Structures are given as C-alpha cells and as structure tokens.
Chains A and B, each alone.
Chain A
Amino acid sequence: MPRLSSLGVIFRKELRAYFVSPIAYVVAMIFWALAGFFFVRILASVVDYSLRLDASPFGGSQPFDAATILLQQFLNLMGTLFLFISPILTMSLYAEERKRGTMELLATSPVTNVTVALGKWLGALVFYITLLIPIVVYQLVVYSSATPSMNYRLFVAGHLGLILMAGAMLAFGMFISALTDNTIIAAIGTFGVMLLLWVIDAAAGQSSSGWDPVLRYLSILQQYGNWVQGSLTTSSVLFFVSMIILGIFLTVQAVEGLRWQRN
C-alpha cells in the first residue's frame, strides 16, 4: 500500500509542474476554445431543431428533451476532443524525468514505483478535471433554463464517465511516456495509440457475431459512448477501472525494467 504522504509529494509536484508549464496553458486555451465553439454549435442546432419541432403541426405531442440531447452530443464531442489533448498531458510525465536524470532521484528516494506512478497519474487527472471546471459551469447555466428540466443524475453520471475515460487514457499515455526519454516520441506514440482505439471503434461493426463484440468491448470510445447514452452499467465502470489499473501496472513494469537496462 503506497504511503499517503509520499503519494502527496509526487502528486503536488506533478500538479505544480502543469501550472508552471507554458505548454499546459496553451493546451488549456485550445481546449477551452474548441469546447466552447462546439458547445455553442450543438446548442444552436438543438435549439433550432426544438423550434422547428414546436412549429410543426405534430410537434406538441412529441416529447423532446433538449437538455439531455445537448448533454449527450456534447459529452461525445468532449471524448473525441480528449483524444487530441491527452498525449500532450502525459508526454512529459516520465520521458522528461528520464531525460533530465531526475528518475535517479526518484528511484533512490524512499518511494516505491507504484507510489510515483499513482501520484503522477493523479496529478494529470486532477489537471484535466481543472480544465473541465469552466466547461461544467457554463453547461449548468444553460441546462438550468431547459424545459423539461435537466436530469442532473444523468449530468453527473455523464461527467463521471468522461473523467473515468480520461483516467484510462492518461494511464496508457503515462505508460508510453515511461518507454522513452523523448517527450515528442511519447506524444506521437500516445497519439498513435489513441487513433488505434478510434480505428478499433470503427472496425467493430454492429453485429453480435465473430470479433465484433470483443472489439466493441475493447474500444474505449464505444464504452464511453454507451455510458453517455445512459446505459451506465457495472460492466463499463469495471472496464474503465481495470483499464486504469492496467495502465498504471504497465507503467510500473516499464519503470522497473529501466533498472535492468544498460545505459
């Protein structure tokens, strides 16, 4: 069991590193700009659709939950957007330590590799959650004026899914970062893996025979998509949690392996 105080040291160091890094600010800016742009686009199209529905002769009888549709479409988009920013959030986690030689400090200090990996992962995740705060705020402002009113349980569950999905991606990004001492290679490698996950998603057809169900199960985006559609199951929670554990486990193995390498 990792010592909490040691976990705290690594976690705070990682989080502070994001807040003093110009790259993190550029990422935040682009992320917020894109998220805002798409939110307004989706909002406009949902409002437009809802107005046309109201104007049509049959509209009044059909229930149309604008807030839920907006939430689902926006969360889907946030998942895709995250594919692009996650490599930048994780690229330096280990690669930078290896390049600077600070791995030797961590590896000769009384902290275990698991504690270091957990602390780093938590730091990245909390930074991502910080990025989400303004986005959550403006969503709440918009949803508060929706009729029928927003189902806030869905809202919380959806964002929880987004965070869990991010946690899984960040754990894998961290693993890839531990494999190299070059941050650019770490970023490109992570991006490649993210794209692969996307391709798996596309390759997995809708049929329920052969490999399709397996591929669908393995696709982070599919799992996340199901979640956003409201089918929040224990199996998908389990999926994300096990992906996170696997990512952290692989990171620890990779770091452990470094000790056996000749350099």
Chain B
Amino acid sequence: MIEVEQLTKVYGTFSAIENVSFRVEPGEIMGFLGPNGAGKTTSMRILTGFLPATSGSARVAGYDVHENSMAVRERIGYLPETPPLYPEMTVENYLGFVAELKRVPAGDRPQQVDRAIERCNLQEKRHTLIRKLSKGFKQRVGIAQALVHDPPVIILDEPTVGLDPKQIIEVRSLIKSLAGDHTIVLSTHILPEVSMTCDRVVIINRGRVVATGTPSELSQQAAGSAQLTLELEGSREVIQATIAAGGGHLIRLEPAAQPERFHVTLSHHQPGDTWMRDMVSRMVQANIGVYEMRRSQVSLEEVFLQLTTQESPQENQQESQETQASPMPEEGNHA
C-alpha cells in the first residue's frame, strides 16, 4: 500500500532524512519509532505530499506522491502533530467541511460525518464549538478528521502526545479498531505504544532507518545479545581494557557508591550468553573484584536506546561504516 524508496530530504547542508526505505502492506499498522527530531515528521509530510523530497520516491496506493499528488491526497487521511482545527466551528460543521474538502459526494457526507463521530466517540460533543473542547477531545476530532472520507491510508503523527493515560488507551484502541480496513502509519517516541498497537516497526534515528521488523522480532533479536550487568572494583582503565580485550561492548560505566567501584553494563557481538563466562574469568585474572553479576534480557526499550543513543558518538567520525557499526546483530543471524 505504501512503498518508500531511498527517500532523502536535505535542507541546505542538513539532511533531515537519508535513504529511508520501507513498505507497508494493506491493512497493516506500521509504527515509526524514533527520538524527537529523528525525521519522523519529515517522512510523514513527504508521504502526504506536504513536503517535496530531495530525492527518492514514495508511492501511496500505487500513486507517486509527487507526480500524482491530488490522487494521493484523496486517498490519505492525515493527522499532523497539532490537530488542524478551526476553533470557531462546531465538531459537526468542521467534519462536514473536511468531508467536502476531501471530495466526499454531497449525498454521502452526513453518513460519513456520523460514522467518524461515532468511531471517535464524539456524539456528546457534536454541536460543541471546537474552541471549547478539552485537549483529549480535540485530538479525537483530529483523528475523526483523518478518517471522515474513509481513506485507505491513514497517517497519524504522534497521535497520543499530550493525552492523559485514559485518553491514551482510548486512542490506541481506536487506532487498533481501524486496522484491516485502513492501512495506518503512526509515529511515536513512546515504546509501549509500538508494542501495543503496531504490526511492524521502523526505527529511525538521525534521519536513517536503523531497524525494521515486528515488535517481537526486534525483542528476539535483542534477546540474542543478552547483557551483563556487574558491580566491579578496580581502576576504570583496567576495566575498560579488559572488556575491550574480551571483545565486549561497553554500554554503561558509572562510579558506584564506594570508591574504586563501578556499575558496568556490557553486551557482546557474539550471540547467546557463553561469552559471559569468558568475560568474568578475564576480569578475575586481571584482578578486578566482582561484587555483583546479573544477566539481563534486553527489552525493546533498550534496543531502542542502543540504536538511537549508543551510535551517536561514532556516527560523526565513521559515517560510512555506520551500518556495520550498529551494536544490534544483523537481522537473519539469529532468526
């Protein structure tokens, strides 16, 4: 339903996204995950035809977003980061206006507006001025606006941001109920949102796709590279040298409460957990005191943090090796 190939958007010397490629199958919910400023909004704006891409192509329902912009716009419902609302209109008037703008035939408009109002649970606010709605209701009107013309593709930019926990649950279940009939792309920087609502995840950081897969695939991959958490006694340099000699990848090294002690977390490029044995015996040989030792499973959260934060210091120097330098094992190694 959505095919994005080698999409790049450059502003002057800054590239907001670089060679972003992904596909979304019909009826699927695809989650766009990344920290703020990773390029999620830029990618979505290109998909909706709002922004022109510098290079690469994006197709929605078979139409190129640049060449057949009008055909794409008819087939897309889009909720931007701030819901595009007219405060002086009532909910019903507003949805009627959007339906007309999206070329819903006059005869179908009342039913379509009713349907959108029902799906988003806005019945009681139907005749209320948008200006007077709470933030949660405004967000729902924003979602209703994106589906009032029953588009095959719905694009939601941070649909749950700024909502209270109850509203977040409501919006998530609403999004889930839309899947199947609609293909949905949503962006978020909240991890549980992805594992709860999405069929597939594209993790994006600094404008590049760093991982793709289903939420369980990503956690499985991560589980392959279990982590070792230790409390060690010794000098910082010796600890670092020992870990490096054993081929470990240092994730965290922080001083503990007592002097000369450190909290250390590390991973290894080797799959499985047999490397831990070797690593600990090396430490003992190097006369490092081991006070605590724990094997930790990597959650999706940690995958995300690894992918999006650990890489950043290397990125500036080794731009080209970036993909290989990823601490995440390549997909397929453990499948």
Contact of A108 among B11, B16, B50, B85 (CB under 8 A): B50
Contact of B101 among A6, A21, A104 (CB under 8 A): A6
Please state if A107 and B50 are interface contacts (CB–CB under 8 Å). yes
Tell me how far the C-beta of B12 lies from the nearest C-beta in chain A, rounded to whole angstroms.
8
Please state if A100 and B101 are interface contacts (CB–CB under 8 Å). no
Contact of A9 with B by CB under 8 A: yes
A8 to B145, CA, bound (A): 19
Inter-chain contact total with CB atoms closer than 8 Å: 68
Please state if A104 and B78 are interface contacts (CB–CB under 8 Å). yes
A112 to B101, CA, bound (A): 11
Contact of B196 with A by CB under 8 A: no
Contact of B86 with A by CB under 8 A: yes
What is the 8 Å Cβ interface bit string for chain B, positions 277-290, against chain A (1 contact, 0 not)?
Answer: 00000000000000
Contact of A17 with B by CB under 8 A: yes
The residues in A between 1 and 24 inclusive whose CB is less than 8 angstroms from any CB of B are 5-6, 9-10, 13, 17, 20-21
Please state if A110 and B84 are interface contacts (CB–CB under 8 Å). no
Known: A9-B97, A259-B50. A21 touches B73 (CB 8 A): no
A262 to B74, CA, bound (A): 25
The residues of A that contact B48 with a CB separation of less than 8 Å are: 108
Tell me how far the C-beta of B102 lies from the nearest C-beta in chain A, rounded to whole angstroms.
6
Please state if B80 and A104 are interface contacts (CB–CB under 8 Å). yes
Interface range for A: 20 to 34
Known: A9-B101, A110-B103. A20 touches B85 (CB 8 A): no
Contact of B169 with A by CB under 8 A: no
A5 to B109, CA, bound (A): 14
A125 to B56, CA, bound (A): 42
Contact of A26 with B by CB under 8 A: no
The residues of B that contact A105 with a CB separation of less than 8 Å are: 78, 80, 84, 98, 101, 145
Known: A9-B100, A259-B51. A110 touches B80 (CB 8 A): no
SS class, residues of chain B in contact with chain A = loop
Tell me how far the C-beta of B190 lies from the nearest C-beta in chain A, rounded to whole angstroms.
21
What residue of chain A has the Cβ atom nearest to residue B14's Cβ?
A262
Tell me how far the C-beta of A83 lies from the nearest C-beta in chain B, rounded to whole angstroms.
27
The residues of A that contact B145 with a CB separation of less than 8 Å are: 105
Contact of A109 with B by CB under 8 A: yes
Known: A13-B97, A102-B85, A262-B11. A110 touches B102 (CB 8 A): yes
Contact of B39 with A by CB under 8 A: no
Tell me how far the C-beta of A178 lies from the nearest C-beta in chain B, rounded to whole angstroms.
16
What is the 8 Å Cβ interface bit string for chain B, positions 161-187, against chain A (1 contact, 0 not)?
Answer: 000000000000000000000000000
Contact of B305 with A by CB under 8 A: no
Interface-centre pick from B51, B73, B84, B87 (highest chain A CB count, 10 A): B84
Q: Report, nearest first, the 10 A-B pairs whose CB atoms are least far apart.
A: A105-B84, A101-B82, A102-B84, A262-B11, A110-B73, A108-B48, A104-B80, A109-B101, A9-B100, A110-B74
